[in-house]
Amino acid sequence: MTTVQVQPLGPVRAAALLVQRNYIVYRRNWKLFITGFFEPFFYLLSIGIGVGQLIDSFEFNGRQVPYAEFVAPGMLAASALNGALIDATFNTYFKLRFVKLYDQILATPLTTRDVARGEIAWSQLRGSAYAAAFLVIMTAMGLVHSWWAVLAFPATVLIGFASSAVCMAATTYMKSWQDFDKITLVQLPLFLFSGTFFPISAFPTPVQWLVECTPLYRGVVLCRELTTGALSWASVVSVIYLLLMGLAGLLVVRRRLDQLLLT
C-alpha cells in the first residue's frame, strides 16, 4: 500500500486560492461588491463640487489647490480604506465565528499563515478596486494634473494593505456583533478629521500631532501629494508608516489565528 504525502502549498499559491474562493463567492453577488464605490463618489459630488462652489482654494505645500482637487485625493484614500475594512471586519468575523470557515480550511494543506495572507490580500484587492474606479473618475473630471498620479494607485494598494491587516487583527478580538460599534467609533472620526475635507492646520498644534499619527491621514497626504504633484518628504514618511503598520497587523493576525484555531 502506498501513501501519498501532501506537500504544503507555497505562500503565493495558497493566498491565490483564498482570493479565488472569495472571487467566486462575490461573482454571484457583484452588486454588494460595487456599492462601496458610491459613498466616496457622492461625497466628492456633494462636498468637493458643491461646497467647492463656495470655497475658492486651499494652500497645499506652497501651491493653491482648488477645493475639489483638494478633497478628491482624500476621498481616494478613504475609498481604499473603507473597501478593505468591509471584508477585513464584518466578513472576517462571519467566517471566523459563525460559519467556521477557517476551521474547515485548516483541514486542507493550508495553514493559518495562508489564511492571514489570503484574506488580507482579498480585502486589499477590494479596497484597491474601489480606489482604481475612483481614480478613473477623478481623471475624467479633470481633478488630476500631475504625472505623479500614476503612483496614486500603488499608494492605495498600500493603504488597503495597512487597513485590512490592522482591521482583521482587531476583528480577531471581537466577541459579538455589538463590538463593531467600536469600528464605527474609530472609522467616522478618522474620515472627518484626517485632513480629508480641510487642512489640519485648522486644529490646535497638539491635535495636529495626534492627527498626523493616524493611518488615514498618512494615506490622504500620500494621495494628495501624488495627484497634485506637490511632493514632499511627508510622502516617504507615509509609505514607511503604512508599510510597517500593515506588517505589524499581519503578524498579529497570524498569532491570533494560531491561538483561536490551533489551541
Q: Which of 22, 136, 42 is nearest to 86 (CA)?
A: 22
Which DSSP letter does residue 61 get? T
- Cβ atoms of 78 and 191 within 8 Å: the answer is yes
93/124 Cα distance (integer angstroms): 16
In the predicted model, what is the mean pLDDT of the chain? Answer: 86
Of the two residues 241 and 146, the one the predictor is more confident about is: 241
183-235 pLDDT, tens digit each:
888 888 888 888 888 888 888 999 999 999 889 999 999 999 999 888 888 89
pLDDT at 84: 86
Please tell me the pTM assigned to this model: 0.88
> Is 8's pLDDT higher than 70?
no
User: Which residues lie closer than 8 Å to 205 by C-beta, 6 or more apart?
Assistant: none
Residue 9 is classified by DSSP as: P
Amino acid at 38: F
Locate the DSSP E strands across 42-147: 57-60, 63-66
> Confidence band (pLDDT; 50, 70, 90) for 2?
low
Residue 114 and residue 158: Cα distance in Å, rounded? 19
Contacts for 66-71: CB closer than 8 Å, 24+ residues apart: 68/44, 68/141, 68/143, 69/143, 69/145, 69/227, 69/228, 70/224, 71/43, 71/44, 71/47, 71/196, 71/197
Instruction: Give the model's confidence band at 15: pLDDT under 50 very low, under 70 low, under 90 confident, else very high.
Output: confident
State yes or no: pLDDT of 4 exceeds 60.
Answer: no
> Distance between CA 205 and CA 183 in Å, rounded?
26
Residue type, 15: A
* 216 φ/ψ angles, rounded to the nearest 5 degrees: -70, -35
- pLDDT band of residue 257 (cuts 50, 70, 90) is very high
Reference 65, options 241, 239, 229, 246; nearest CA is: 229
pLDDT recorded at residue 137 = 86
Interval 22-59: pLDDT, tens: 888 877 776 666 666 677 777 777 777 777 777 777 77
**Considering just the CA atoms, what is the radius of gyration of the chain in Å?**
20
Distances (CA, A) of 1 to 7, 69, 108, 128, 157: 19, 70, 23, 50, 50
pLDDT digits (tens, 9 = 90+) for 232-255: 888 999 999 999 999 999 999 999
More confident residue, 52 or 65: 65
Class of residue 262 by CB neighbours under 10 A (exposed 0-12, middle 13-18, buried 19+): exposed
| 67 — pLDDT class (breaks 50, 70, 90) | confident
Enter the C-alpha cell of residue 105: 480550511
Angle among Cα 248, 86, 30 to the nearest 5 degrees reads 130
